[in-house]
Structures are given as C-alpha cells and as structure tokens.
Amino acid sequence: MDFETVIGLEVHAQLLTDTKIFCTCSTKFGGAPNSHACPVCLGMPGVLPVLNKKVVEFAMKMSLATNCVINKSCSFARKNYFYPDLPKGYQISQYAYPLAEHGHVVLDLNGAKKTIGITRIHMEEDAGKLMHDEHNPVSYVDLNRTGVPLIEIVSEPDMRSPEEAADYLKRLHEILVYLEICDGNMEEGSFRCDANVSIRPRGQQEFGTRAELKNMNSFRNVQRALEYEVKRQQYIVENGGTIVQETRLWDDAQGVTNPMRGKEEAHDYRYFPDPDLVPIIVDDAWIESIRRELPELPLVKRERFVQVYQIPAYDAGVLTADKALAGYYEEVVRLCASPKAASNWVMGDVLRFLNEDKRDIRDCPITAAALAEMIRLIEDGTISGKMAKEIVEEMYKTGSAPKAIIAEKGMVQITDEGELLKTIAAIIEANPGQVSDYRGGKDKLFGFFVGQVMKATQGKANPQIVNELLKKMLAG
Ligand code: ADP
Ligand code: MG
Ligand code: ZN
C-alpha cells in the first residue's frame, strides 16, 4: 500500500525572562531544588498571579517573526489536571483566546520552498520536575521550573515527512534564538517538541488517527522517532489492524516508541477562563513597537547573503545558522572585500577549530579583523595559501595577529623574480641529466624542478612565479 505521512508539531519554548510568568522568582536553571519558589508559584491558597509584561512582549516577537496575526484581546485559562508537578491542580495556559494565530514559516529543503502553517502561539506556565528514585519507591519534586514562562507554538498538520518535521523544528529554533527570547537548549528542555503523526492511503482526504510522540531531546531524535512511528503504523494497517489515538514515549536507547497513556481530549481538562487574570489588550502601537525591535530574520539574511555576497546558498545557510557567526562573517567581508574567500575560511578552518573545542564564535580567538588581514595577505601574494593554513592555526592557538606570526616564523613568500631566477639557475646547473631528459620530452620531470625550488627556499617561493620562471628557463 502507498501511504502518505502527516505530521503536526507542538513546540514548547522557555522564554528568557529573568523572572517567572506570574511571580518574581528567578527562572535560572540549576538552582538547589525548590530554591526558586514562592507562595504564588507553589499555588498557596489566596495568592494572586501578576502577569510579567516581558512574557507578552517575547511571545509577540515570536508571533510577528512567524507571520502570525496578534489578537487584539486574549486571555488565560485554567487547564485542570492532578499531578504533583503543579501543586495548584491546574496549569495557567491560553485556550479559547490565544495571543496569536494564522502564521507560517518557510522551509527550504535543498532549494525547494515549502510553507508550514502555524495554527496558534500561546503563553503558559511550565510545570515542575519529578525525580524518581531508582532504588527506593520514592519520588521527589522540584518546583523551580513551576511558573517559568513558555510559549507553545502549534503547527498545522502540514508536514509530509520526518525530514520536513526536523527542518521545520530547526527553522523555529533558529528564529527563537535569533530573537534572543529562548536559549534553545534541547537537552535542558528549553526547547521541547511533541510530534503528532498519522498515515493515510495516498489520495485520501481525511487524516488518519494520530499518535503523539514525546521525550525526544534532539532534532535527530525527533526525526528518528517519527521514522520509527511511521513504520509501526504502516505495519499495523497493512496487517489489518487499526491505529489507536494515544501518547507514546520515545525510547532513545531502544530506538522505539512505547505507549504511555491514552490520549486525553481537551474536554478532559475542563478548561475555564482564569478569574484571577484580566484579559490582555494589545493595541497597534504596541505591536508596531515590538515589530521595530525585530532583528533581520534567518531566511531574509540567507537570501541577502546569496544576493549581496554572491556566495552559494549552502554557504549562506551555514553562515546564517547562528546570528553571531553571520555578524562575524560580515565583518570579515567588510574588511577584506573577498566574500567567497571569507566564507571558505570561516566555514572551513574557523568553524572546524571551534567545533573541535565546542566553542562559540563569540569566544573565537581569531578576531574578524585578524582573519580579514590574513586573507588580504594571501591576496597580495605576501603568503601562500599553504602558509595561511599554518598561520591561521597559530592565530587560533595564540590569538596573535597574522603579521606577528609571519615575522616570527619568517614565513613571507618569496616573490622577487631576481632571487628566484638565481635559485632556479643553480638547480638547473646541478641537475644536467634531468634537464636533458625534460627537454627530451619527459614532461613529468617538471614537478621535480618545482620540488627542488621549494626545497631550496624552504617552501617560501611563490608557486605561480616559480612555475612561470621554470617554464621559461627549462625551455632552454
Ligand atoms: P492536542 O493539543 O490535543 O494535542 P490539537 O488539535 O491542538 O491537539 O493538535 C495538536 C497537533 O496535532 C497540531 O500540531 C496538529 O497539526 C496535529 N495534528 C492534528 N491531527 C493530526 C493528524 N491526524 N495527524 C498528524 N498530526 C495531527
Ligand atoms: Mg498535544
Ligand atoms: Zn514564585
């Protein structure tokens, strides 16, 4: 049977505010358990939540960056459930009146553009964390995360393959980090994804029954979990079974999904408007002031890089994946005026060094100015590309400027024709046999002469000039 895969994602992103959404507790990750908690986020009776305005502004930024319509009025609702990670017995979320709706992001899969709809973006509070003792029948609860602000970004079921889903996630992640409203750390849970997936016979209009997958903490695992789940559903349908709607957990070690619980329906939560919080009224002036704060977004930057710097789309993709890296690249280009050379050095050596050390471009020992200077020195013939490889490594290790390294190592290229002619003449004189063989038609010996010149000059001779001069001199 020929099946089509249908995927919709719900992404939770933790917002980088200093304080929680409804109280003044710190949002810092990793404090002693329950050290960032107060009567409000602990849900004591009689306390009142007060909305953190920064949360609304950050959520508005993401809404605008994903082309959503921001509702002029929205409000909070209580999502009721009983579990010790939320002592109140309900999560403050948005339901009937979310902050923003009807957005989209554009994927670019090897040049093929595809638009994925965003159903809604809403604000809510995070829940705490339970830790289960492996050896004793005890669980512990840490409420530091309770009340940390989240936005939930719900997509339309527009994705048709696990690769598309992974790419969509990367695009969302990139935008959130560009906006500096989320640190994007998937391992620490600042960026989490629930993946809904179903299959249907190709050509069928109605969607199939979906499973909701949880517990994937990397882009790769989201893709792997979806690939596994698609196969599992196909196997069931092909063998005459039916898919049940349920929530399944990804098991990374086994590479499988396992049932966790039957999927709850919205009515199970008994949503109702939160009477403690007033509606949020958003006017055009507020929206416009937020819009003005938006940085250039990744997709726009990518297209500008291709157009303005005339570099391949692949390069532009790598260079703009991180806003700081893009800024570094642009500074190098501004100072050396060679966009493609700059792209090669940044994507090649600089990124390789940084990746090896798991370091960020912000702490790169090679400044943009130093790299630009090195590129200029290659282009004016002072150093060869081969020397530059050695120099750039030294620049990374020591943070020194290229000129200082060149002086210290005596690495300047020999471009002086008179000096090179003398060297070549001596080599010709010392190797009469090879010279007559070469002149007799043994072309391959040319490499031998180049090698001799390089040896005599300790590799410092400018190879182009050596080639030209050797051709002339050997012609006899
Ligand atoms: P809930 O909040 O209960 O999980 P929603 O209706 O809000 O349910 O949908 C959640 C996500 O599931 C959305 O991203 C949506 O695109 C996706 N989705 C809905 N139906 C399907 C389906 N049949 N197959 C795949 N994804 C689906
Ligand atoms: Mg869901
Ligand atoms: Zn608190």
**Residues in CB range of 283: below 8 A, 6 or more apart:** 72
Q: Kindly give the number of the ligand 1 atom that is closest to the alpha carbon of 154.
A: 14
- What CATH number has the domain spanning 417-474? 1.10.10.410
**What is the Cα–Cα distance from 234 to 197, expressed in whole angstroms?**
12
Q: For residue range 357-374, what is the model confidence (pLDDT) as tens digits?
A: 999 999 999 999 999 999
| DSSP state at residue 440 | T
Q: Among 318-322, 406-410, 413-417, which range has the highest average pLDDT? A: 318-322
Q: Kindly give the number of the ligand 1 atom that is closest to the alpha carbon of 209.
A: 23
Angle of helix 446-456 relative to helix 463-474, nearest 10 degrees, comes to 130
pLDDT of 263 reads 65
pLDDT reading at 475 higher than 90: no
| Nearest ligand, CA 271 | 1
| Nearest ligand, CA 197 | 1
**What is the Cα–Cα distance from 256 to 248, expressed in whole angstroms?**
10
Work out the average pLDDT over 223-230. 97
CA distances, 150 to each of 18, 137, 186, 306, 408 (Å): 13, 31, 14, 34, 54
Higher pLDDT, 418 or 158: 158
For residue 332, the surrounding DSSP H or E stretch is: helix 323-336
pLDDT reading at 29 higher than 90: no
**Residues in CB range of 423: below 8 A, 6 or more apart:** 453, 456, 457, 461
Q: Is the pTM of this model over 0.75?
A: yes
pLDDT reading at 40 higher than 80: yes
pLDDT of 152 reads 98
pLDDT of 267 reads 76
pLDDT reading at 476 higher than 70: no
In the chain, pLDDT over 90 holds for what percent of residues?
Answer: 80
Q: For residue range 117-163, what is the model confidence (pLDDT) as tens digits?
A: 999 999 999 999 999 988 999 999 999 999 999 999 999 999 999 99
Q: Kindly give the number of the ligand 1 atom that is closest to the alpha carbon of 157.
A: 16
- Decide: 7 and 167 in contact? Cβ < 8 Å: no
| Nearest ligand, CA 208 | 1
**What is the Cα–Cα distance from 282 to 287, expressed in whole angstroms?**
7
Residue nearest to atom 13 of ligand 1 (CA): 8
**Distance from Cα 77 to the centre of ligand 3, integer Å:** 19
Phi-psi region of 74 (alpha: psi -120 to 50; beta: other; left: phi over 0): beta
Number of residues that make up the chain: 476
Closest CA to 372 of 312, 426, 330: 330
Q: For residue range 240-273, what is the model confidence (pLDDT) as tens digits?
A: 999 999 999 999 999 999 998 776 676 788 999 9
pLDDT-based confidence at residue 114 (cuts at 50, 70, 90): very high
73-74 and 280-281 beta bridge pairing: antiparallel
pLDDT of 52 reads 98
**Distance from Cα 331 to the centre of ligand 1, integer Å:** 44
| Nearest ligand, CA 25 | 3
pLDDT of 22 reads 98
pLDDT reading at 69 higher than 90: yes
**Distance from Cα 94 to the centre of ligand 1, integer Å:** 17
**Distance from Cα 157 to the centre of ligand 1, integer Å:** 7
Q: Tell me which amino acid residue 282 is.
A: V
Closest CA to 364 of 112, 198, 210, 356: 356
Domain-by-domain residue ranges, the chain?
3-289, 298-409, 417-474
Average pLDDT across the chain, whole number: 93
Residue nearest to atom 2 of ligand 1 (CA): 266
pLDDT of 275 reads 95
149-155 and 139-142 beta bridge pairing: unpaired
CA distances, 236 to each of 7, 162, 198, 199, 232 (Å): 18, 19, 12, 11, 6
Work out the average pLDDT over 48-56. 97
| Ligand 1 site, CB within 6 A | 6-10, 154-157, 196-198, 207-208, 210, 212, 266
pLDDT of 33 reads 94
pLDDT-based confidence at residue 55 (cuts at 50, 70, 90): very high
Backbone φ and ψ of 183, nearest 5° = -80, -10
Closest CA to 104 of 36, 42, 53, 175: 175
